[in-house]
Structure 1
Amino acid sequence: MTTRHRPRWSELQEILRPAPVRLSATDRRLARAASIADLRRLARRRAPRAVFDYTDGAAGEELSLSRSREAYSRIEFSPRVLQDVSAVDTSTPILGKPSAAPWIFAPTGFTRMMHTEGEPAVGRVAARAGVPYALSTMGTTSIEQLAAAAPDVRRWFQLYLWRDREASRDFVERAQATGYEALMLTVDTPVAGPRLRDVRNGLTIPPTLSLRTFAEGSLHPAWWLDLLTTEPLEFASLRRFEGTVAELVGSMFDPAATMADVVWLRELWDGPLVVKGIQTVADALAVVDAGADALVVSNHGGRQLDRAPVPLEVLPSIVDAVGDKAEVYVDGGILSGSDIVAAVALGARAALVGRAYLYGLMAGGERGVQRAAEILQQEIASTLALLGVSRVEDLRRDHVRLRQD
């Protein structure tokens, strides 16, 4: 027979104690976000369609994007049990320096379009997270502005080769003068990829006010208020340019670039040289021979060549071919800490994360980026522990397999 008693007020107080009140609605929403997918949903509600689609979309039919994501869904972990995981260490060396976790904030263009706090917010979060951040040539914050706004972050600069080589040289010299650690050369953009969502949305930089965008603005007033009451949105390193992404790439990027240009940059740049956009073993070996210290297995997030190789699938063969001649990173389709762990187990030194933190930025500015970083870090630590691995360096290929069904 169950014995019941009337609860005392002191007992009820413990149960009914209210949660701390968060004054900011944004903070409340971000605190409830338990995954990057949750941040993506918040971002979709906050940002105009053209802005969200710029981040969320890819080239052509977006098969490269969907296949990259699908590859991670086929990862099956092989955990070991009864291992001491009481103290999990997520740190790993990247380019010879300690990083708190095996991931890097990837370079992204038009970042202040997602939220006016933009690249400085990302840089500050990266500094707190203890991981590198690569500023894009197509950024909305200049090389010098980021150095001033986030002096403590491990700053890398991502470079496109221009038809005007002196313009490329100027970028390199400015990055060197302001203490950037590494130069990241992107090599998969001889021409612009056909980003159909952007075409259909009529996306331009800066965004233009039309009847359509005015109607969109009524649904997203906070975003438009930020845009119209802060510094004008522009390519900070390419001032005075106005037009579409395709027009910019067509007028400035160099489709005649060759491996000799990698050699030229190697002679020009004193620090570590990273080459991003590698999709084959042959190109991996070629850029290493040309002087690259690291390379990124990448199809540009599916935003250039549709039906390009899936980075996760070609990663092991490239890692095997390169050996210890250079560090190998990977990107594309990474939306969780477990994705990062899987990539490292398959041989990557680190993963580049782009869309994941941009969803956070759209959802809540710097606080949203911070929440994205927290989610990824928590997921990395818990995945390692559940795998029976206490250190990133102990991850091996036999911890994962890529299902073929």
Structure 2
Amino acid sequence: MASTRTWFETVAEAQRRARKRLPRGVYQALVAGTEAGVTMNDNVDAFGELKIRPRVADLPATRDLSTTVMGQQISFPVLISPTGVQAVHPDGEVAVARAAAGAGTAMGLSSFASKPVEEVGAVNDKLLFQTYWVGSREEILARAERARSAGAKGLIVTLDWVFDSRRDWGSPFIPEKLDLRAMARYAPQVALRPGYLARWLRSRSLPDLGVPNLGPREATPPTFFGAYGQWIGTPPPTWSDLAWLREQWGGPFMIKGITRPDDARRAVDVGASAISVSNHGGNNLDSTPASIRCLPGVVDAVGDQVEVLLDGGIRRGSDVVKALALGARAVLIGRAALFGMAAGGERGVTNVLEILRQGVSETLLGLGHASLHELSPEDILVPAGFAIDRKV
């Protein structure tokens, strides 16, 4: 169906609407990559280098898109990736979680989210809670246990971050808190986007830059930059730290940010049940290869010892199928879901998920497969030199 006022046909159209509806600084924060944006752009562009090998007869009338990830049955192989403070819409992560639940898939919730884990867990029973290595071991474990009490079925530990926020085109202004000075600075941008302001006025709230999931539920949430400062001050984890947290958690456990086969093997050694091949959406070290370029080497290194997911650059259902054909069990989406949220709130996220679901089904049909589990590398033409790190 063609795009209408309430429905968009592609994720690209969702992004165009997000750009029209968000204040410039908010949109920049959503799309910006580190430094020159080489990795961020390659995450998306690399999928175009992979070609699909379709069939023309004996095609399946129906396709089974379901799979399991971290013990959760999901209706199709797309999960919500944990992303930080979501100022694109007043309903934030709660609306994203509702949309994911409606689509029958899992919600990854960031420890730097704008909504409490209890509110998100109440609307999606396939909740995966994400934490950075922030604070002491005791604080990290307490954060995870709070999430478990709120219904989290799995824990994601994100490691692909080195605090490099430089951008060649300039970083958008993000205030410590929405005081009068910050509002005055943003006022000219907001005035050009009256719909954005109206949504917040109807919600009788302002964008909350607090981080409510970092400490105890009853504690006053730190500001985003207060939490960021605590994170910077925490020594990076060792593999022994990760093995300890895996043992203490005792449930499904994902390490996110893997790009190298040797790191993938170490993740298996510490008992991870899943890994995500990810470069933080191009917001970590620039010039890191696209996630999809790293995927085959990681899959070769760990085989079926651990569930392998991919995060980064997914914009179409065919992208999802390409990742699965190269060995991923499922993919996670971040910016695509936020574009949908900015374009249409919860309905916009539902729209994005439906675009991807339809695209996966259509691509499976063209490949002649009745199930995701029939996909293999033979379905994809991979150009010479595309995949990296097959042995390292």
Answer whether TM exceeds 0.5 for this pair.
Answer: yes
Matches within 5 A, 1:213-362: 213-227=186-200, 229-230=204-205, 233=208, 234-238=210-214, 239-242=220-223, 244=225, 248-253=227-232, 254-362=234-342
Aligned residue number for residue 175 of structure 2 = 204
Counterpart for residue 83 of structure 2:
108
Q: Could you tell me whether the CA contact under 8 Å between 1:159 and 1:186 is conserved in 2?
A: yes
Q: 2:98 aligns with which of 124, 131, 143?
A: 124
User: C-alpha displacement at 1:205, in angstroms?
Assistant: 4.8
- 8 A contact 1:126–1:153 mirrored in 2: no
Matches within 5 A, 1:106-185: 106-111=81-86, 113-148=87-122, 150=123, 152-185=124-157
Q: CA deviation at 1:161?
A: 1.0
How far the C-alpha of 1:360 sits from its partner, in A, is 0.4
- How many residue pairs were aligned? 373
Which range moved further: 326-335 or 217-226? Answer: 217-226
Structure 2-normalised TM-score? 0.90
**Secondary structure, counterpart of 2:237 in structure 1:** coil
What is aligned with 1:9?
Answer: none
Identity within the alignment, %: 35
> What's the CA shift for 1:241?
2.9
Residue pair 2:74, 2:105 contacting (<8 A) in 1 also:
yes
Kept in 2, the 8 Å contact 1:281–1:317? The answer is yes
CA distance in 1, matches of 2:313, 2:198: 32
Matched, 1:402 2:375: no
Instruction: For 1:232 and 1:355, locate their aligned partners in 2 and report how far apart those are by CA, in whole Å.
Output: 19
Pairwise CA distance, 1:147? 1.7
Alpha-carbon offset, residue 53 of structure 1: 1.3
Paired residue type of 2:228: V
**Counterparts in 2 of 1:261 and 1:357: CA distance versus 1, 3 Å:** same
Name the counterpart of 1:17.
Answer: none
- Give the TM-score of the pair, scaled to structure 1: 0.87
**2:45 is aligned with 1:94:** no
Larger Rg: 1
Query: Which residue identity is paired with 1:311?
Result: S
Q: CA deviation at 1:341?
A: 0.6
Contact 1:278 1:295 in 2 (8 A): yes
Cα distance between partner residues in 2 of 1:243 and 1:314: 31
Which ranges of structure 2 fall in alignment gaps of 5 or more residues? 215-219, 387-392
What do residues 125-153 of structure 1 show as CA deviations (whole Å, max 9, x unaligned)? 111111111100110011112122x1x43
Aligned equivalent of 2:354, options 369, 374, 380: 374
Q: Which has the larger share of helix? A: 1
Change (3 A) 1:48 1:198: farther
Separation in structure 2 between the aligned mates of residue 135 and residue 96 of structure 1, nearest angstrom: 17
Q: Distance in 2 between matches of 1:288 and 1:71?
A: 27
Please state whether the residue corresponding to 1:216 is helix, strand or coil: helix
Query: What amino acid maps onto 2:96 in structure 1?
Result: V
Answer yes or no: is the 8 Å Cα contact 1:192–1:250 preserved in 2. Answer: no
